[in-house]
Structure 1
């Protein structure tokens, strides 16, 4: 059984919601000064309301901040956003979050697992064990 960890016990980063692209979908902008806690161009686990999902951390084209432009059910969909449903927008709507607002990003395990929550809310996460790097690459190869 996985250990459980409270959002009070992990580092938290305040991210800003902004409109993304011509469609106006929401994206999360992670502050540049917190970039060391997020692996660029990697797929990570993201927990939304207790459900494990996946997101790809991207570099911003216009600044030093990092972006999460979508949260998806599978690592493959996170790498290729057109292949799956983006759950970030629904989560934002359900939690009363919109462009210009903020979202708290809990760093459950640096470089591997994060949780999203609305400011003022609390969450409890299942702390997952990060897989061995070679096992992760094998799984990624099999998935693709």
Structure 2
């Protein structure tokens, strides 16, 4: 069930974060704060100006980062297509060194990124049950179980 949740709702935890340079490029990436309970390799939904994208959490020597956001999970994993995080940063005139706010809407699943002081409303949906996630993963070619039937 989808629930509309504003960024200032008590159930939403907001963290201060920053945009930084992605490697040797001038493209911005999102430096995640230590308080966000994610791990390298996690795929999350990321809301930018009301539009939902998918992002893979990666790491470097300073911690966890999101280098790109894409239209679907496959594109996020393969870093295929347009980088919606870079587009968003340009649209809101934010670049490396600038502060942003990261809203933890559904921990481990749904996060929003916004300019500090801006308010937004999220469509919060519950993550799929583990059994449904396992089925989706196996259909997506990520099944590690060798006992599949032909």
- What TM-score comes out, normalization by structure 1 length? 0.89
| Runs of 5+ consecutive residues of structure 1 not aligned to the other structure | none
Q: What's 2:69 paired with?
A: 71
CA distance in 2, matches of 1:109, 1:67: 18
Structure with bigger gyration radius: 2
| Runs of 5+ consecutive residues of structure 2 not aligned to the other structure | 142-150
Give yes or no for contact 1:18–1:100 (8 Å, CA) kept in 2.
yes
Check if 1:138 corresponds to 2:140. no
- What TM-score comes out, normalization by structure 2 length? 0.86
**3-state DSSP of counterpart to 2:71:** coil
**Deviation readout 1:15-73 (Å, 9 max, x if unpaired):** 111111233221111122x142x24311011111111110111222x12x211111110
- The 1:87–1:23 alpha-carbon spacing in structure 2 relative to 1, beyond 3 Å, is same
Q: What's 1:11 paired with?
A: 13
Residue 143 of structure 1 and its aligned partner are, at CA, apart by 3.0
Task: Could you list the structure 1 runs, at least 4 aligned residues long, displaced by more than 4 angstroms after superposition.
Answer: none
Give yes or no for contact 1:35–1:66 (8 Å, CA) kept in 2.
no
Corresponding residue to 2:110 among 110, 113, 118? 113
RMSD of aligned Cα (Å): 1.4
CA distance in 2, matches of 1:13, 1:73: 24
**3-state DSSP of counterpart to 1:135:** helix
- Of Structure 1 and Structure 2, the greater helix share is in 1
